[in-house]
Every structure is written in C-alpha cells, then in structure tokens.
Amino acid sequence: MREKVLATCLEVSPSIDFSSNELVDGGLLDSVTLVEIVTELMDVFDIEIPYEEVTPENFNSIDSMVKLVEKYV
Amino acid sequence: MKRYEKLRIIIFVLVAMVLFYEINILMQPVWLEWNNYDRTQDFYEQPGNTIETIFLGASVTVNGIAPTELYEDYGICSYNLGTEKQPMLASYYWMEEAYRLHPETLKTFVLDVSMLRQDTDESFLHKALDAMQFSRVKLNAVKDYAKDFSEVFSWFIPVFTYHDRWSSLTKEDFEKYGYNTSSGTRGYHFALGKLLDSNSASEITVPTYLVDEEAEPAEFNEEALVYFKKMVEFCNWKGIKLVLIKTPVLNDWDSSEHNAAMKVAEKYQLDFFDFNFYPYIDEIHYNNATDSVEGKHMNYYGAKKLTAWLGNYLTQYCGNTDVRGNETYAFMETEVEEYNRHILRAELGDIEDVSEYLQVLYDKRDVTILITVKDDAAKSLSQEQRDRFALMGLEKLSALAYRDSYLGVIVNGEVIYEESKHLDKEAEDAEKSELISSYEGTLADGSSYAIISGGHYLGNISSCIIDGKDYSVNTRGLNIIVYDNKRQKVMDTTVFNTGESATRIPENAEKALVMAEGTDFARLSDTLQQLALYNRSCANVKKAIALKEDIGEDGFLQYLKEFWGDENYMIFLSVKDDAARSLDKDARSIFRKMGLEELAELERRDSYLAVVKGGDVLTEVRDHGETPITLGGNGYTLVSGGMDSGNKSSIEINGEEYSAGGRGINVVIYDTALHIVVDTVSFDTYAIPVDTSEIIEDKEKND
Amino acid sequence: MQSLIYKIRYLTDGILSLTLSYNTFFFLIFLFVFLCIYFLLRKQKAKQIWILFGSVVFYAWSGLAALFIVLATGSIVYLAARKMGSLYVGYEKEKEGLSPKEQTVLFMDYKKKAKKYLLTAMFLILAVWIYVKAGKLLELDSVATFSEWISGRGIIVPLGISYYSLSTIGYLLDVFWRKAKPEKNILKLFTVMTYFPHIVQGPISKYDSMLKQLSDLPQYDYKRVCFGLQLMLWGYIKKMIIADRLIIYTQAVFTSPEQFAGVEIFLAVVLCTIQLYADFSGCMDIVGGISQVMGIKLADNFRQPFFSKSATEFWTRWHITLGAWTKEYIYLPIAMNPKFVKYTKQLKKNGKAWHSSFMKAFVPLIAVWLFTGLWHGTGWDYIVWGLYWCILMTVAKEAKPIGDKIISLLKINTEKPYYQIWQSVRTCMIFAIGRMFTVTGALTGCAVLWKRLFAEHRLWTLFDGSLYSHGLDQKNFYVALLGIVIMLLVDIMHEKGKSIRQSIAAQPLPIRWIIYYGAMFAIVILGMYGPGYDASSFAYGAF
C-alpha cells in the first residue's frame, strides 16, 4: 500500500522529498500539486476522496495519506 | 506609561485643533476687490450702540454712499453694509445682525432695491455672509438657506467649502493674518474713473428723466420679496424706519422696474427715492458722464452727491442726530482722518499745477514720490514752478532743460536722489540701454522699485516697476508715482504734461467744465468737449420734456422761440392737410419779422416746407399743386402736401422718419452739434390759433 | 417647550439625512463615539454586544428593510449550521467503536442528511442575491413590480450583499465539511455578518476566524491603536486624494469616449487601473485600520498587485480574499470532484490525452471566472471580462513551455531587474486591457475605446494643456501624480518587507508629528469632497 502511494506521488512530482512530515504545512506541496496527487490517488486506487478530507493533516506525510486511502478503499 | 500617553494625545489633539483653525482662516477667500473683508471686519470693530443708520444692498450701494462724509458734513454716525450682489436674504440677516449690535441707537435702514430682482445666488450669499461672526443670527441665516444638515455644517467650517482653493491661494490669503482693516471708509468703496474717460458723448446713456407711468410693473423675484417682507416686519417691530432708494444706474433700471418698486413701497407704506428719474436725479445733479465709473456704479463724485442728499434727508426726516463733539463718538475723528488719507487720490486728481501737487505731498512727509520724465517735461514749466521745485530741494528738476531725462525720489519729505541727463540731438549708434537713466531703491515695506527715464533723444520712455509691476503712466511729461509709506501701497500714478502746458485739466471734469465757462468750444480739451456735448444732450431731453408740459397746443411761437437763436439747432417745418385757417394777422406779422415770409402768406390747404438754422431761414417753399412738394438737403428730405396735394407730411433725417404727421405744422428740431433729433411735435394751426400774447408783450417791452 | 421639541425634531431630521459611508465626516464622528465606548467597556461580552450594536446602527442607516433581510438571512444560516452541527455531534456519538472504514460509511449517511440543510440555506442565500442583482442591475420590470407587490416598495439592495453572501456560503460549507464548528450564539453570528468595517466592500472574511477573534478581543493598546489610525490615514489619502481625483479625468473620458483619442484614451486606461487600485486598496486600509484599532485582524486583500509577474500571480495579490474564496469553494471542489476526475481519466484512457489535461485545467477555471465575472456585474461585459481572464490563464499555462524555450534561446536572464520590471508591466497591461471591457459599462463602449485609441495619436494634448480641460486642471494632475509616486514608493517598501509604520515610529517625535499632521491636513485640504470651489462662480458679474 505504502509503496503504491509513494510511487503515485513521485509520478506526479519526482523532485519532491516525500519523507517529510510537513509536506503541506511546509509548503513542499502547493495546491496545484496537491490537486494532482489527490486526483491520481483517486484514479490509481479507484476511490472517491471527498473534498473535506483534503486537509493539511491528511496530506502532510505519506503515512497520513496511506491512512486516508485505506478508509476509502 | 499611561499618563505619558494621555499627555501626548492631548497635546497632539490641541495642536491639531490650532492648525485646523488656522487653515480655516487661510482657506477662506478674502475678496479684497470690493472691500468685502474690510467692510465686515471693520463693522465688528465699531463700538456698540453708536450707529444710527445702516445702508444695505448690492455693490451699487457700496459704491454710492460714503458714511464718513455723512459724519463729516452732517454729524451722522452710519455704516455701509452693502456687499457684491447682496441677496435679500443676506440684507435681512445683516439687518438683524446690525440691530443686535446697535439696538439702542439704530434709527434708519436704507435699502437699495436693485436686488429685489434677483434670486439668492449661493456664491454671493457666501460673499455676504461668510464674514458674519458666529451668532444666533448667522445660524438662522445659514439654516434658512442650507438644504440640509451637512450644508449648514460646511457653512460654519470654511475649509469644507473652500479647501479646493489650495491651488489658487494668493499673497493676500497669507496677509490675512496681519491685515489692518481700518481705512476710515466705513464700508464705502472708493472708486475714481468715469464714463467720460473712455466714451464719447454719444456712447454715454442720457437719462429719460420721466417715468413712463403706463409701463407694466416688472415682476420682482419671489424669494427676494419674501425676505423684503421680513425686513419690513422687522423694522416695524423694532420701530426703525426703512427707506428705499434706487441708485442711478441708467443702463440697468427702467420705468417698469420703477413702477414695480413704487408698488412695493406703497404696499408697505415706505418712502422710495428713485435717483434715476425726476425729481431726485436732479436733486443730486447726477451726471452720468462724470459720476459713473462704467455705467453701473457711481464713482466718488457721484457718491458725494448722493451722500449729501441723504445727509439732508436723514437729518430732517429720520431724526438722525448730529454727534459731532459728543465724547462717545470721539473715535469718529480718527475715522475722518483715515478716510481723508484714503481718498487723498481724489484731492490730488484735482490739482492742476505739478508744483502744487508735489508740495501737498511733500508736506505730508510720509509718502515716497517717484518722478520720471518721458520725452520732454521742460518746455512749458513756468519760472514760478521752477522756484517752488528749488524750495523743495529738487534742484535738478528746477533746472530741467528741453527733452532732458530726469529721475527724482522724495522719501518722507526729503529728496534722496535726483538725476538728469541732457542730449541735444539724436545719438548715433547708441544702445537704448546706454541712453536711459535708471535707479533702484527699496520702499517702506521692503519691496524694491526701479525707475527709468528717457528724454526725447534718450530713449523716450518712463517706467516705474514696483514688485514686478510697472505703474508708470508712460506718456509725455512728468510721470509721478506716489507710494503711501504708512499703508504700504501705491496711492497714485499720474502724469503732468509740462512739455505742452504748465497746468493740466483736473480730473473732476464737471468742475473743470464749470471753470472753463465762456471758453470757446473748440479750445476745450477733448474730454471737456465730450462732456459739454453730453450735457447738451441731457439739456435737450429736459427741454423737450419741459416744453411738453409748459407749451400748450397753441404755443407754436413759444416753441420756436426755444430753439430759434441757438446756432446748433436746425428747425424743419412741414405742413400737412391745412395749417392756415387759424393763423391770424398778428401771427403772420411775427412770422414775417422772423423771416418766415412764405409762412406769413400761407393760404388754405397750402403745402409748406421750411429749414431754419441758427435762427436763419435757409429755405422756404410754399405751393398749392396736385402733388406734394419735396425739399432735399444734406442728410434730410422733407415732404409736405396740403389737403389737395396729397395730404402728407414727412421729415426724414438720415433715413429715418421723424414727422409727427398731424394736421397743421409739423416741427422737428435737430441738434447739429450732437447729430441727433431733439424733439418732434405738431401744432394744429387749422383748429387752434397761435398764441401771440407773450411775443407781443416782449416786443412791446423791447420797443 | 414647543421650540424645544422643534429644535430636537430639526436635529434628528438633520442627522438622519446624513450619509454614513466611510468617507463622510459624519462617519468619523460615529466612529469616534463608537471607539470611545468600545474602549471604556472592559468585559468581552460587553465589547461584543457593543460591536453588534454599532454594526446594526451602521447597517440600519442604509435602510431598515435591508437590515431585516440581512438578519433574516443570518438566522437561516445560523439554523442550518446548528442543524448540521448537531447532526455531526450525533455522528460522533454513533461512531464509537466502529472501524475507520465503517466510520467513513456512517459519515457518508450523515453527510447526506446535512447536505439537505446546506443546500436549502445556500439556495435561499443565492436566491435573494440573484433576485436583487437581476432585478436592480438588469432593471427587469417584472422583478421590480413583483417586489413592489410584495413589500410595497422597489427592490431593496441590502448593503454588502455580494460580500456577506459569499462569506455565509463559505461558512456553511466550512461547517458542512467540518472545517469549522457552528456558532452557538446567534448574536455573535449576526455581529460577524454585519461587522461594519467589512460589510460594505469586504474583505470577504472567513467567519470562523472572525468568530474566534470576537471571543478574544484585546484591550486598549496605545501602539496598536496608533498603527491602526495611521493605516486609516493612508487609506483616506489613497481614496480621497488619489482615487477620487483621478476619477474625474477617467470618468470624463469614459462617459463620452468618442470625443477622445490616442494618448488621451491610453492615459485614461492607465489612470483608471491606478484609480481602481487606490480606491479599493484605500478602502481596505481604512477598514483594516479601524479593525486594527479595535484589535481585530481582517484578511489582507491586496499585496502590491502591480509587482506580479504573471496573470495567475496577479490574482493572488489583487482582491486576495475573492481569489481565495473562489479557489477554496469553486476551483478545488470541482477539480477534486470524484465524478469529474473519473470523466477526465476516461478521456485519457480513450486516447484523448490532450483533451483530458485541457479539461482538467479548463473546466474548474472557467467555472471560477464565469462566477467571478457575474459576481462583479451582470452585464455581458463582465462575462466577457471573466472569459478573457480565463482564456488568458489557460493560454499562459499551455504556452509556458514554448515561452521558456524562447527565453533560453534568447539567453534572457529572468533574474535581472529589467526582465522583472517587464513582467510587472506586462501584467499591468493585461489587467488594463481587461478593465477596458467593463469600464464604459457596455461592450459597445469597449469597442469604441479601442477604435478611438488608434484613430489618432493626439500626442500634442500632453503639451498644449488641453489635457487639463476635462475637469482636472494641471495642479490637480500634479497632485494626483505625486500621490501615485508616493503610493508606488510605499508599495516598493512593502514588497521589500519593510513596515512603513514601524519606520515612522522609529523617527523622533517632531518628524513623526509632522508626518501625521501633514497626512491629516493633506486629506482636509486636498481631499475631493464638498461642493468644490469654482472660482468662476464667485467672479464678479454685474453689480
């Protein structure tokens, strides 16, 4: 699960260091990239992520993203 | 820290308030042009309960009445509160304000009725009310006019109305702070300059003297009448007499307006004196050519006349008291002194001899006199004049030679600089700047002046620049500029053409003409010639009016007598229908004696024409044919037809028809000096016999 | 006694007839009284009630009927939010003991129920808003007569409806998406809705943050109050000295553009963008200053917009709260809408890769821009304006690779100042051209502007003084120019991160006070207010 998520993120934006825990709050993910990641995740995992789940807490690290995906898979 | 902060805030706010106050004063326009500012400031400086009469109205009032002279000559303490185009609303509230300050002494309000014709114009309301001090009266006035609350507010905080003036601030705005308002004029605006200066006699309006009683009364402005009514009621309530006048403004006041004003006066039972018509125009001997600045406002000469009339009236009919000698009014003496200083210019203008002129100023010892010569000033100087110059210390002026340049500076009675330059003939290859003489100095207020003189061969110029402005008249002779050191402004700029004549014509043209009585017309100056012609026009009108009243239908001979001897009158006679029936033996013999041979032989239904000039019968034609007879001449064509000969009468002069066209003898009087028709009248000598009684009496006396 | 009653009546009638907008003297008096009492009240509750009172009085001045509409709207919002909140509380109780997956499913249920309230409330807000806009602005007779029939008078346009509609919808959505907790105290909600500094022209505040600030109002602090007043002063200078002055010239040109040409039009377009900036940002500074005095922080609405290097960046610096709102509540929800995402993926799978990526970028964007256009105004000119920006941004994005290639080919160093300035100028021109669509009030007017711009050049008007004959004389032009230069310098300092107020505070007292007095009296003297002094009307005519 985790590798798939990480791979998807890297595909969207290869240059970002996804090991950080402050991806959104720290500014590494801007809104454009975030949109892409969300839409890619929705496509790759064939899930529907509701808009309110797109929060800094849920996307600050790969692990939080994984937790989120698992809720909707 | 808290207290320190509080203190800072308080000081900040206080300084802000002071700055705001000062800026309000700065932004407020001063409108020095008509002394609006002086007038109201000065009014508030008057001691309370001293004024007995207040004059209200528009600028015609401001220019027309000199309260200081009312005091000087009649002892009346009054004040002129007119302002430019003063709306009736403002007149009313100034009435209240004046009463507020002089409730015990006020006896009369004199109002010029011009503004009954006008709406309340906001700009001029500002001019009238802005300087009114904050009081109940002002509050009521503003509330009365303003449409809403914020407008009322902006009336009292000038900066809200006038802050846009920042781009047009002038020196005067800053001078406000140390401005000295007293000039002793008590509201009067001193103006010289007369219509005669730049108009020929034919361009100056002649009064009509008689009111056209039939003229439909004009409609006055409703709003103005509302406030007028308030004024009437206020005066009734306070027991003060309200008097209405109309200053003479011949171009802008007619019978219909007069009739309307009369109606108003009658409605409220007020006295109304219209100085545009009989009898009052004559009571003040108003002369439009010499007493009006530009046809609308009276100058100093006119104001003097009106003021004198008012002085009499106020004393006799309004109970105004003579307060000269009264201790409470001692301050008026200072006013008189300042006033005379202010109008010194008028006195100076009447001086004909340059040495006398300089002497008067020299004795004053608080003026600066700057003298420059242009072209030539020496040719007509008399020895007496030169001697007087020498006595004053003007050595070089005393020795001035033909076509010399000359510069002279007298400060406070002391000659501090004199220079003259002589050249016999045209200099060759010389720069103008080398030829002229010049000098620079400083005046009492610190501003600098530069004077330049050039005699005929030495540049032929006169110039006097003070603060960037050239005040010199720059015509031939002695150009003199007088600077008032006390009041720090230019008092007079004039020229004495002593190249041509030792004396000059005084500015008071009326006086000058009177003094020149007996002189040949051709030898009068251009100005006086025009004045003489103008006076003649007025006299003609008066004569025509008088004749209409005095001479009856039978007064043909009296009528002719009025115009017979004067070489400037041409008399045209033209008969229509039948003029012979009532001509009796006496009349005919008088005609024969006058030289009207054909008229003496006039028979029933004859046609008849005659041209008389200066008492000499130039032409006479009598006929009885089938057609009318015609007589033509230089600029005129006459036609006469008896009953059988066309039954018509025509007297055409310069293309226009003037014959009265009645049965009998038609008379047209033409003034050859003025080139206008004086009168046209018709005498029905068919039905009414000619009155010969007076003529026979005279003859008997003479025989 | 009679005269006393009369005097009171006169005073009250007079006061009621005054207008209470930010740049009237009357407002300053209102503000002064309001602030004095605000600081005298020490308790939180008292301060909150006082703000509500002041805002209601301010709002009521523009019409009691409008106040009624606003409070009615607020009540609906309050109820809907509370209902959603209590539903979610129910969910929190129920979700005990369930696995995350099950919780998610359960939550979907609750969300469906909450959605009903959300949509009802949103519908009502939008309905009133569209009703007002359509009726008043399009002057549709049917709407007007309907309104008359209902309320006995014409269409009432509640003050700030465009702003509070967005803020309330945002608040409802935030509650729906559990980004914010519903406010329990309806008075507090009313306060935040009618809060007089942001009700007239924004900024579009997030009620969540406003409510939080409202619960924690600070006491009087000298420095903060001073800074707030200084910010207000700067706002008034921009609005009353610069903006209101420039508009005289620009209005003269735009009301009859056929009379002008060439450089006159060009100048008018340039000046009208500056005028809009000075007016809007000036107003923001005034209300920001007022709020700062009170201790409340309003969201920034401008961040030196003319230094932007691209169209996209521009809208993060100009009317920031509007851009933020449309991004958060229109752009992102659409871009991340699962159904939409599926559709675009479908396109990609079907081989239409370019189509797919184009749709992904374009659809949310056009939604945002159509909305933004219609939010500003209801005519075709605003729709075209919205489309203009939309197309511009799309083209910019698609053409970026080509642009980058050209830059590297020409070996342009994008860090150099001249290039940065070029980028700013380019952005300004884009904005100005956009403005041309709407400034005359109709698209036909825009066409006239373009035609007249190239009809003649009229360069001579710059030198022969005719430029100063359209209502703004030479001296006034220079004042405006000076103001613009000062505005530019201030913006440059802000861009560099410097705080002007801090720098002034660091100066010695005489200099500070000279600056304050200078600013205050500049506004009093140079401000465009009052009847205006027309020297010619005072000129002496006849007697």
Query: In A, which residues are within 8 Å of C176 by CB distance?
Result: 52
CB contact under 8 A, A38 and C327: no
Distance CA B650, CA B298 (A): 42
Any CB–CB contact under 8 A between C463 and chain B?
no
Q: Which residue from A39, A55, A70 is facing C341, i.e. has the nearest CB?
A: A39
What's the gap in Å between the CA of C244 and the closest CA on chain B?
13
Distance CA C477, CA A35 (A): 48
What's the gap in Å between the CA of C456 and the closest CA on chain A?
45
What is the architecture, at CATH level 2, of domain B13-338? Answer: 3-Layer(aba) Sandwich (3.40)
Nearest Cα residue in chain C from B85:
C543
Report residue C352 CA to chain centroid gap.
40
| Interface predicted TM-score of the whole assembly (ipTM), two decimals | 0.91
Burial of B237 (0-12, 13-18, 19+ CB in 10 A): exposed
Residue B702 has pLDDT above 60, yes or no: no
Listed range (B371-380, C324-333, C391-400, C405-414) with the worst mean pLDDT: C405-414
Any CB–CB contact under 8 A between C177 and chain A?
yes
What's the gap in Å between the CA of C445 and the closest CA on chain B?
32
Question: How many other CB atoms sit within 10 Å of the CB of residue B439?
Answer: 17
Q: Which residue from A31, A43, A52 is facing C178, i.e. has the nearest CB?
A: A52
Residue B220 has pLDDT above 90, yes or no: yes
A-proximal residues of C, 98-127, CB under 8 Å = 100-101, 103-104, 111
CB contact under 8 A, C100 and A35: no
Residue A65: which CATH number?
Answer: 1.10.1200.10
DSSP B645: G
Distance CA B637, CA B653 (A): 7
H or E stretch at B539 = helix B526-550
Distance CA B131, CA B41 (A): 7
pLDDT per residue as tens digits for the range B149-166: 778 888 888 888 888 888
Any CB–CB contact under 8 A between C513 and chain B?
yes
CB contact under 8 A, B23 and C540: no
What's the gap in Å between the CA of C288 and the closest CA on chain B?
22
**One-letter amino acid identity for C158?**
P
In chain B, ranges of CATH 3.40.50.1110 domains: 13-338
Any CB–CB contact under 8 A between C338 and chain A?
yes
DSSP B247: -
User: Left (φ > 0), alpha (ψ -120 to 50) or beta: where does A50 sit?
Assistant: beta
Residue C541 has pLDDT above 50, yes or no: no
pLDDT per residue as tens digits for the range C398-427: 788 888 888 888 877 777 888 888 889 999
C133 confidence band (pLDDT: 50, 70, 90): confident
CB contact under 8 A, B1 and C538: no
Residue C542 has pLDDT above 80, yes or no: no
How confident is the model at residue C543, as a pLDDT?
Answer: 40
Nearest Cα residue in chain A from C329:
A51
Report residue B576 CA to chain centroid gap.
45
**One-letter amino acid identity for A42?**
M
More confident residue, B253 or C533: B253
pLDDT per residue as tens digits for the range B560-596: 988 998 888 999 999 999 999 989 898 999 999 999 9
Neighbours of chain B (3+ CB pairs under 8 A): C
CB contact under 8 A, C360 and A70: no
Residue B315 has pLDDT above 80, yes or no: yes
Neighbours of chain A (3+ CB pairs under 8 A): C
Domain of residue A32 covers 2-72
What's the gap in Å between the CA of C474 and the closest CA on chain B?
10
Interhelix angle B67-74/B331-342, rounded to 10 degrees, is: 120
User: Left (φ > 0), alpha (ψ -120 to 50) or beta: where does B285 sit?
Assistant: left
Distance CA C68, CA C57 (A): 12
Q: What is the mean pLDDT of residues B323-341?
A: 91
Looking at the 3D structure of chain A, how many domains does it have? 1
pLDDT per residue as tens digits for the range B617-646: 999 999 998 899 999 988 999 999 999 989
Question: How many other CB atoms sit within 10 Å of the CB of residue B40?
Answer: 22
Percent of chain B with pLDDT strictly greater than 90 = 60
Any CB–CB contact under 8 A between C346 and chain A?
no
C330 confidence band (pLDDT: 50, 70, 90): very high
Distance CA B556, CA B586 (A): 13
Those residues whose C-beta lies under 8 Å from the C-beta of residue C49, and which sit 6 or more positions away, are C187
Distance CA C522, CA B159 (A): 12
What's the gap in Å between the CA of B298 and the closest CA on chain C?
11
Nearest Cα residue in chain B from C479:
B167
Q: Could you tell me what percentage of chain A is helix, strand and coil, using 3-state DSSP and rounding each to the nearest 5?
A: 60, 0, 40
* DSSP letters for B95-116: HHHHHHH-TTT--EEEEEGGGG
Interhelix angle B88-101/B222-238, rounded to 10 degrees, is: 20
Structure tokens at C449: 């502007």
Contact status, residue B617 vs residue B591, Cβ threshold 8 Å: no
CB contact under 8 A, C538 and B126: yes
Contact status, residue B565 vs residue B615, Cβ threshold 8 Å: yes
Distance CA B213, CA B217 (A): 9
